[in-house]
């Protein structure tokens, strides 16, 4: 067996190496080793020791052989057809997206096998975390018998608070991979990130350092530059909609190269995002509530160490059946209580056949916990009002710098929520950090609380106008 040094982590005393090794029989593995000997990228390694220089004709030949072995391994892993979903519309979409999905999967596997640094960033909600977990399960299944996937030090999972990939996020990710030298360009996977123009700067600054695999399902509006990336995929490009969640997309991608069972995560993502494809059964509902809780406030899982959440931690939590069902129950109860408390505090505005309810969430929220986050709470409140009133409506909740708008399924389009986000940005651009979402859900982050009331009044006025027209 021989391999080549494909990635190096430089450390003060002992460098850390990834070696992509070919056993000559079509078997391929990515081995990690520490060595006091200085090795170079592309250097040949046999039995754990340097076995030849990295330069010259031989090195090139070896590199080609390994590349071929990687390509062979990917080809044999990729499935011919998408997994059957049981829903006609989804099967159709999956078939249309399949070439893009398998192209994305090939890229992911190539980086993974070549030991390149990989950063997976996901939105902190049930959808985003389901997506990240599905990718994790897929890679774990794929690397079965190939050891240590969980401990791989150059595979980073980062929960992202929000749906913007800005300069700050970009700088952080560049810093993460700075200690590495890699034959393959590092990869970043972005899951459930939205299509804000505010991400353009982040995209621009990582282009030199990363290949980008972007899995999303938000409507593609404005001058978002991510959509022209080579590995950008979004059901909207294939006649689908936001109902096809990022968690579902990631799950299909994971299944394109593995036998990982990600079904319940896919289902939790559909429930979490109120997709029309959601199939609400108890286990998936509980998982969705649980993910929502721990992505809002990771201290439920990791005692607040750093506020990050990784698939390893999710996996560990789910193995503890008692703890995870307790937490799911707590999440459900806490959200229901908050919605109950909110009802008497609502202000109602009439808009034709519908009502627009506004709420200062600061009067409801527990100060000591992040849970429930404003967006999730707004969805629950909407659900409760729909049930109580027996008809659709709109809720506008706000706390601090954040405003969250939710519209019932049959009202959102008419209320013009997606266009509303754009109009607000145009009008109050300097006072808004971000605004965007789906036709039934919009989130707005203001740069400060000053002027919030004016913007709230404007939101209500615009929605009323749309509903009257
Ligand atoms: Mn989503």
pLDDT tens per residue, range 6-65: 999 988 888 888 888 877 666 788 888 888 888 888 888 876 666 666 666 777 777 788
Helices H, strands E: what count in the chain? 15, 17
Distance between Cα 74 and ligand 1 center (Å)? 28
Distance between Cα 50 and ligand 1 center (Å)? 47
Distance between Cα 273 and ligand 1 center (Å)? 6
Distance between Cα 194 and ligand 1 center (Å)? 8
Distance between Cα 25 and ligand 1 center (Å)? 42
Distance between Cα 405 and ligand 1 center (Å)? 15
Distance between Cα 258 and ligand 1 center (Å)? 23
Distance between Cα 52 and ligand 1 center (Å)? 49
Distance between Cα 195 and ligand 1 center (Å)? 12
pLDDT (tens digit per residue) in 390-408: 999 999 999 999 999 999 9
Bridging pattern class, strands 44-46 and 49-52: antiparallel
Distance between Cα 269 and ligand 1 center (Å)? 7
Lookup: tokens for 115? 């030991």
Distance between Cα 217 and ligand 1 center (Å)? 7
Distance between Cα 129 and ligand 1 center (Å)? 10
Lookup: tokens for 125? 């909600």
Q: Other C-beta atoms within 10 Å of 88: how many?
A: 8
Distance between Cα 31 and ligand 1 center (Å)? 35
- The full 3-state SS of 4-61, as one line of letters, equals EEEEEECCCCCEEEEEEEECCCCCEEEEEEEECCCCCCCCEEECCEEEECCCHHHHHH
Distance of CA 448 to the CA centre of its chain: 27
Q: How many residues does the chain have?
A: 469
Distance between Cα 127 and ligand 1 center (Å)? 5
What's domain 82-319's architecture?
Answer: Alpha-Beta Complex (3.90)
Q: Other C-beta atoms within 10 Å of 223: how many?
A: 8
Distance between Cα 293 and ligand 1 center (Å)? 15
Distance between Cα 294 and ligand 1 center (Å)? 16
Distance between Cα 163 and ligand 1 center (Å)? 9
At 459, which helix (H) or strand (E)? helix 452-468
Q: Where are the alpha helices (DSSP H) in 355-405?
A: 374-389
pLDDT for position 148 = 62
pLDDT for position 34 = 86
* Segments of the chain with pLDDT less than 50: none
For the chain, domain boundaries:
2-74, 82-319, 343-468
Distance between Cα 251 and ligand 1 center (Å)? 13
pLDDT for position 145 = 64
Distance between Cα 131 and ligand 1 center (Å)? 9
Distance between Cα 124 and ligand 1 center (Å)? 9
Instruction: Tell me the pTM.
Output: 0.92
Distance between Cα 60 and ligand 1 center (Å)? 43
DSSP label at residue 439: S
Question: Which of the four CATH numbers 3.10.310.40, 3.90.550.10, 3.40.50.300, 2.40.100.10 does domain 343-468 have?
Answer: 3.10.310.40
Distance between Cα 128 and ligand 1 center (Å)? 6
Distance between Cα 427 and ligand 1 center (Å)? 26
Distance between Cα 30 and ligand 1 center (Å)? 33
Distance between Cα 437 and ligand 1 center (Å)? 9
Distance between Cα 397 and ligand 1 center (Å)? 19
Distance between Cα 6 and ligand 1 center (Å)? 35
């Amino acid at each position: 067996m021989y391999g080549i040094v494909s990635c190096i982590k430089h450390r003060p005393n002992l460098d850390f190496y990834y070696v992509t090794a070919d056993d000559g029989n079509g078997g391929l593995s990515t081995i990690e080793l520490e060595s006091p000997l200085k090795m170079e990228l592309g250097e040949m390694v046999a039995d754990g020791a340097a076995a030849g220089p990295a330069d010259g004709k031989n090195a090139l030949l070896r590199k080609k052989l390994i590349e071929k072995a990687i390509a062979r391994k990917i080809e044999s892993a990729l499935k011919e057809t998408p997994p059957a979903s049981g829903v006609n519309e989804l099967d159709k979409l999956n078939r249309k997206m399949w070439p893009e999905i398998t192209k994305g999967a090939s890229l992911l596997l190539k980086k993974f096998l070549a030991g390149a640094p990989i950063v997976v960033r996901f939105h902190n909600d049930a959808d985003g975390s389901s997506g990240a977990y599905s990718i994790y399960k897929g890679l774990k299944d794929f690397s079965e018998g190939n050891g240590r996937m969980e401990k791989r030090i150059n595979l980073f999972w980062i929960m992202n608070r929000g749906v913007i990939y800005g300069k700050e996020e970009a700088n952080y990710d560049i810093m993460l991979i700075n200690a590495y030298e890699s034959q393959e360009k590092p990869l970043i996977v972005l899951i459930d990130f939205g299509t804000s123009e505010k991400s353009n700067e982040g995209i621009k600054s990582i282009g030199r350092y990363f290949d980008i695999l972007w899995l999303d399902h938000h409507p593609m509006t404005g001058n978002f530059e991510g959509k022209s990336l080579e590995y950008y995929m979004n059901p909207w490009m294939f006649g689908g909609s936001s109902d096809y969640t990022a968690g579902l997309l990631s799950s299909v991608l994971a299944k394109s190269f593995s036998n990982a069972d990600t079904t319940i995560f896919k289902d939790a993502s559909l429930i979490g995002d109120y997709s029309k494809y959601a199939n609400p059964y108890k286990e998936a509902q509980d998982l969705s509530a649980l993910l929502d809780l721990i992505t809002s406030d990771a201290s439920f899982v990791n005692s607040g160490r750093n506020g990050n959440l990784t698939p390893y931690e999710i996996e560990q939590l789910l193995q503890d059946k008692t703890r995870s069902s307790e937490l799911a129950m707590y999440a459900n109860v806490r959200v229901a209580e908050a919605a109950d408390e909110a009802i008497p505090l609502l202000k109602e505005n009439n808009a034709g056949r519908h009502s627009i309810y506004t709420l200062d969430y600061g009067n409801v929220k527990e100060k000591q916990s992040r849970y429930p986050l404003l967006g999730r709470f707004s969805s629950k409140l909407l659900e409760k009002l729909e049930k109580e009133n027996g008809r659709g409506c709109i809720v506008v909740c706000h706390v601090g710098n954040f405003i969250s708008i939710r519209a019932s399924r049959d009202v959102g389009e008419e209320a013009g929520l997606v266009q509303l986000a754009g109009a607000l940005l145009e009008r109050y651009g300097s006072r808004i950090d971000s605004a965007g979402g789906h036709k039934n859900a919009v989130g707005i982050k203001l740069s400060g609380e000053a002027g919030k009331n004016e913007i709230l009044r404007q939101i209500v006025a615009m929605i009323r106008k749309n509903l009257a027209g």
